[in-house]
Structure 1
Amino acid sequence: MNDVRDDSLKQVFTRHRGRLLLTVLLLWTTMLAGTALLGLSGGFLTAAALAGAAGLGSGFNFFSPSAGIRGLTMARIVSRYFEKLVGHDVTLRIARDLRVWFFRRALPLAPARLAGVRTGELLARLMSDIGEVDGLLVRAIGPLLALGGVSLVAVLSSWLIYPPAALLLAVLALVIGVGVPWLTVRGAGAHERDRALHRAQLRAQSFEGLEGAADLTALHAREDWNLRVLVAAKQLRSRDRRRRWRLVAGNALHGVCAGGGLVGMLWVALHGFERGAIDAALAAALVFLTVALIELWAGIGLAWQSWLSGRVAAARLEAIVDQPAGVADAEVPVAVPAQPATLTFERVSFRWPGQARALLDGVELRLEPGERMAIRGDSGSGKTTLSSLLLRLWDPDAGRVLYGGQDIRSLAQADWHRQIAWLPQNAPVFAGSIADNLRLGDAQASDEQLWQVLADVRLHAWAERLGGLQAWVGENGATMSAGQARRLALARALLRGSPILLLDEPTEGLDVDTAHALLRDMVAALNGRSLVMITHDALPDGIVHRSYRLHEGALGLA
């Protein structure tokens, strides 16, 4: 757990620092070669034109500049190719690692800390925000570093040719490369955060509308929801428009400064030529060098905007994963009992953070190995809270949950979770084969074990008809009935081999005959394991040994 919490967003990029530095170096080489090429070409063409007009062709040095032009052209082509190759490679690697980092940091927070975050909001952060962050290299970091390096080399080179030109280039670099982008993005941080929030809201509403389309149709609420999505889209569009106008204003200011700077360089170069400080070819080279730099500086505003968007997206990602976990491992965890042991709730009380009412108040409960019990209660009575404490998603405010006499807070979470097979309400069936779904319970299970657990839940014949263990079950179990999907999820839970099976509303949404058949088959497949069933349905005789009812925080026999 500590290793996971210490895994920062910065470290994701640090792991690729070699490729990142190589990409920046190649980008710098490409820009430098292009800038030098335009400056050298301008000086060469000017010198050639003057030599031809004066009839001095025999004394004109044609070969050295032309060789330089060909060399710079090839260098620019080669560096551009490898810059794209290495840059896209490291970007894809970062995109992969960012998603792994987000899942690794977020999963320990589920469901306790993530329960209050909308699924669409998480989807927005996983897609939009990570997309902003993983492109920081090619859209922001690389261009800004390379442009800074090229500008420095250009100013130093100009100083060797004609110092006044170098001073003018330095001023232009500060004005166009720093001043104009600063004016463009000044105060844009709040706008970017607002834009990211509305982008996430639109994605969340769209996702939830698609996910709940059947319910919206049944409630005749589709038009109202469509209107909400339309309003969210218009709000995002207005913020995108404001962002575009800010960039347009920055480009216009850049154009004004660039035009003035180019005229200034032309004057400085002509003045130097008139004084005899530089010849015509070098004067032209300075002008063309300025043209090349102005063209490169045009991308600084967009790079700064991408940097700002990336920082906002990174902050949104860290806001999710930097939440404290609901529970923490003991510094020195004790070993879990080797054999199935007694589970005990000892005067357990709990209230959700920020709520005054205690959902559990002094609950006492004892579950012997192999015993089966049901816990009933009205909605909101605390049944799900009790299962959350059993799973140790939260710790009690008072009292203890014991296993084999050991407080489960003294056990490593991974060790404790291996003692429980949890079948939540509406347990998902994933897009994949029958075997893929079952091996989520035990990745090392053999085909024989899979067939056996299918037989235990009476799905053996169904699996054979479908085509065997590699048969595709479809998105969300599209090829299965509700009863078959629930049996497959039960088989997955049984395959874990944990001594305690925790079921949350296992028969919800099933007709009575299907539900009772599922429960009887489940009891037969338990093979001596303990059972805790959260339910509000009536149960057939023989399913559980004892039945409790939660009411006003207290647990009593039903």
Structure 2
Amino acid sequence: MFQLMKGRVSFWKVAGTVIFMILQVLTTLYLPNLTADIVNNGITKGDTHYIIIASGKMLLTSILVVLASFSNVFLAAQVSQKLGQKLRTDIYQKVLYMSNDEFDQVGTSSLITRTTNDVLQVQNVVMMLLRMMIMAPIMMIGASLMAYQKNAQLTQVFLIVIPILAIVLGIIMYWAVPLFKAMQQKTDRLNLIFREGLTGVRVIRAFRQDQYEQKRFGQANQDYTHNAEKVYSIVAAMPPIMTLIMGGTNIGITWLGAHYIAQQSLQVGNLIAFMTYAMQILMSCTMLAVVFVVVPRAQASAARIRGVLDLQSQLQEPKTSSPNPSSRASLEFRKVGFRYQQAEKSVLTGVNFQAQAGQTVGIIGGTGSGKTTLVSLISRMYDVTTGAVLVNGSDVRQQTLTEINTQVAVAFQKAILFKGSLRENLQYGNSEATDEQLWHALAIAQAQDFVQAAQGLETWVEQDGSNFSGGQRQRLTIARALVKEAAIYVFDDSFSALDFQTDARLRQALRQDPRMKTKIIVIVGQRISTIADADTILVLDQGQMVGCGTHAELKAKNATYQEIMQSQIKGGVN
């Protein structure tokens, strides 16, 4: 946990917190001494003047306690909240640059838990450490010395009380700590099921699986609740036990103190001060126990956060950027092979093809043939296992991710839109795009009509674009990709929700646009009609490129392509 604090908290604020806490403890320890003086030298002797002066000192000391406590809490809150802010920012930045493999390795629900609940646990414990962890040992040592000073013989009570307290607290920690650690994993599980239920609510309703999902969520919720009930029931036993121990301690001190007062070896004021110091000692032990109970849970959270921050990305940035030798758009796959981590066999093997500026590459194949994986290698969402992918004449592994993302624009099959105005969504790839450029992209994407029918570029987009149909969302994401100034435009099955007529008009607009004639267009399609007019068509089957050529060439000679044609269009495609 202290590794997470390094570089994320202010040393001077932490030092200030410690200084003000020490001042608070010292002034708090001085108060019982003033009480004893008032009783011994003022009340018993009837000296009103002494009582007034000592009361004034007590008032000033109390004011110092309040000011020191306020300053300590203020600085500790700043340190802990700033730490939480920086941790959330660091995790978010880390996630943005994760490869798809790493993202899948951690999981969306777990990342949400680590960014919210785990960070909250860490910052709360840091706040506790800067308060209780500093206060408890200083208070315990100081109160012990002051109590010994008042009466050394009465301190024998602690030889009985403190071991009993230690045994009780040890038993509580033994049972509570593992349960606290388990709560984070159970929170992950609860978030996972809840998130799946939210994102898949339409599927759940369509298949009438609402009862099953409710049961699944109920089991996870009940499991979390039972764990929480156990741990908080155990922790809840601490206050009454502490009250009992403190009450017994007061009885023992009062009983022994009364004997010493009767023997005139102890003053009444000193007995009152001793009882206060005894309570401070026991409270310090309790505070330490609370810290030791909560810290393991925060330590588990810190380890989970560190697991994300220390995750080594498989996409290593080159130390020195390799400049592109070619100013013209070009794309080349050289004997490319790819295998997912821990997969038994490769997803792609021996893929070879080239494309130059002004050309369109179509990719087709059956489900699971590796189409999406292939285009993901262009934008370096994964790194090739064997071979090389060259963009504009340079290996993508020799270019920074920023350079690659600048040269490649992607429209995915799953249309993702962000909450905000349509203008903000379209300018996602080019923040300086003018209205004219935005409307031009919408016209190519065949989205101009329904956008004009709404509120134009100021049309409001709900989360995930839920106020648009599937086809409209796809056309808007295509327009967003076209707004970006790139060398290669990848459409990963992003025409799947379009009807044949809209699909044909969109592809015709792409071919006729002057700007796109200097770019490379890569289209992944399920339908022959979507990629039939491409300059080069790649046919994939179980990760292997089993065909490469024009529609006419593949139609005449490629068996796999012919099978796809026959399955889609009766009599074939001319």
**TM-score between both structures, scaled by the size of structure 1:** 0.87
> Which structure 1 segments of 5+ residues have no match?
1-6
Instruction: Choose the corresponding residue for 1:243, options 226, 231, 235.
Output: 231
Counterpart of 1:376 (choices 364, 372, 381) is 364
Amino acid at match of 2:67: V
SS at match of 2:367: coil
1:407 to 366, 377, 395: 395
CA RMSD in angstroms, aligned pairs only: 3.1
**1:8–1:531 CA distance, 2 compared to 1 (3 A):** farther
Which residue of structure 1 aligns with residue 98 of structure 2? 109
Deviation at 1:169, TM superposition (A): 5.9
Which one of the candidate residues 528, 540, 550 is aligned to 1:550?
A: 540
Question: Are the counterparts in 1 of residues 321 and 398 from structure 2 also a CA contact under 8 Å?
Answer: yes
Which of the numbers 110, 123, 134 marks the counterpart of 1:134? 123
Q: Give 1:343's aligned residue.
A: 331
Using the TM superposition, give the Cα deviation of residue 502 of structure 1 relative to its aligned residue in structure 2, in angstroms: 1.4
- The code of the aligned residue for 1:150 comes to M
Q: Judge which range, 122-131 or 444-453, deviates more.
A: 444-453
Pairing partner for 1:483 from 471, 474, 479: 471
Structure 1 residues 541, 421: CA separation in 2 closer, same or farther (over 3 Å shift)? Answer: closer
| Pairing 1:323–2:317 present | no
Name the residue aligned to 1:282: 270
Q: Offset of 1:464 from its aligned partner?
A: 5.2
Output the CA distance in 2 between the equivalents of 1:94 and 1:248: 29
8 Å CA contact 1:421, 1:500 repeated in 2: yes
CA distance in 1, matches of 2:420, 2:336: 41
Provide Cα deviations, 1:85-132, integer angstroms capped at 9, x if missing partner: 333333332221111011122222242211244432322222221221
User: Does 1:88 pair with 2:77?
Assistant: yes
Mapping for residues 449-488 of structure 1, pairs under 5 Å: 449-460=437-448, 462-463=450-451, 466-488=454-476
Q: Summarize the alignment of residues 101-500 of structure 1 with structure 2, pairs less than 5 Å apart.
A: 101-164=90-153, 176=165, 180-186=168-174, 188-266=176-254, 269-270=257-258, 273=261, 276=264, 278-295=266-283, 297-337=285-325, 339-460=327-448, 462-463=450-451, 466-500=454-488
Counterpart-to-counterpart distance in 1, 2:221 and 2:487: 50
* 1:97 pairs with 2:82: no
Q: CA deviation at 1:547?
A: 1.7
Q: Is the contact between residue 491 and residue 522 of structure 2 (CA under 8 Å) also seen in structure 1?
A: yes
Q: CA deviation at 1:49?
A: 8.6
2:62 is aligned with what amino acid? T
Contact 2:140 2:281 in 1 (8 A): yes
Change (3 A) 1:59 1:353: closer
Following the alignment from structure 2 to structure 1, what is the Cα–Cα distance between the partners of residues 393 and 7?
Answer: 42
SS in structure 2 of the partner of residue 112 of structure 1:
helix
- The change in CA–CA distance for 1:179 and 1:451 in structure 2 (over 3 A counts) is farther
Alpha-carbon deviation of 1:230? 0.5
Following the alignment from structure 1 to structure 2, what is the Cα–Cα distance between the partners of residues 170 and 468? 80
How many residue pairs match? The answer is 545
Query: 1:100 corresponds to which letter in structure 2?
Result: T
Contact 2:100 2:382 in 1 (8 A): no
Decide whether the 8 Å contact of 2:523 with 2:531 is kept in 1: no
C-alpha separation in 2, matches of 1:250 and 1:123: 32
Q: What is the 5 A alignment of 1:518-533?
A: 518-525=506-513, 526-533=516-523
Assess, with a 3 A threshold, how the Cα gap between structure 1 residues 274 and 524 changes in structure 2: closer, same or farther.
farther
Maintained 8 Å contact 1:429/1:476: yes
Confirm or deny: 8 A CA contact 1:164 1:268 kept in the other structure. Answer: no
Q: Name which of 70, 74, 91 aligns with 2:63.
A: 74
CA contact (8 A) 2:409 2:484 kept: yes
Conserved 8 A contact 1:336-1:415: no
Counterpart of 1:11 in structure 2 is: 6
What is the letter of the counterpart of residue 46 of structure 2?
A: G
Structure 1 residue matching 2:463: 3-state secondary structure: coil
Q: 1:63 aligns to what?
A: 52
* Residue 341 to residue 158, structure 1, CA distance change in 2 (3 Å): same
Instruction: Show CA shifts across 1:434-472 (max 9, x none).
Output: 232223212344555444444443545655554454442
Q: Post-superposition shift, 1:282?
A: 1.9
Contact 1:40/1:69 (8 A) holds in 2: no
1:539 aligns with 2:529: yes
What amino acid sits opposite 2:6 in the alignment? Q
CA separation in 2, counterparts of 1:519 and 1:40? 89
Offset from partner CA, 1:194-231 (integer Å, 9 cap, x none): 22111210121012111111100001111101000001
Counterpart for residue 3 of structure 1: none
Per the alignment, residue 36 of structure 2 pairs with 43
Which region of structure 1 is more displaced relative to structure 2, 123-132 or 452-461? 452-461
CA shift in 2, pair 1:542/1:199, >3 Å = closer
- The answer to which of 424-433 and 152-161 deviates more is 152-161
* CA distance 1:511–1:34, change in 2 (3 Å): farther
Map 1:506-521 to 2 at 5 A.
506-521=494-509
Q: Which residue of 1 aligns with 2:14?
A: 20
Aligned to 1:4: none
Identity within the alignment, %: 21
SS in 2 for 1:441: coil
1:172 Cα offset (Å)? 6.0
1:250·1:301 contact (CA, 8 Å) conserved in 2?
no
Question: Residues 22 and 512 (structure 1 numbering): CA distance in 2 closer, same or farther, change over 3 Å?
Answer: farther
What is the CA–CA distance in structure 1 between the aligned matches of 2:432 and 2:158, rounded to whole Å? 66
Query: 2:511 & 2:446 partners in 1: Cα distance?
Result: 12
Alignment partners' CA distance in 1, 2:483 and 2:164: 67
Mark the CA change 1:85 to 1:33 in structure 2 (over 3 Å): closer, same or farther: same
Distance 1:275 1:449 in 2: 98
Contact 1:23-1:83 at 8 Å conserved across structures: yes
User: Deviations along 1:469-520, whole A, 9 cap, x unmatched?
Assistant: 4442222223333333222222222222110111211023333334444444
Going from structure 1 to structure 2, the CA distance change for 1:354 and 1:506 (only over 3 Å counts) comes to same
- 1:316-346 Cα offsets, whole Å, 9 max, x none, are 2222343321221233331234613422111
Q: CA deviation at 1:430?
A: 0.4
Q: Give 1:310 deviation, angstroms.
A: 0.8
Q: Which moved more, 1:249-258 or 1:137-146?
A: 249-258
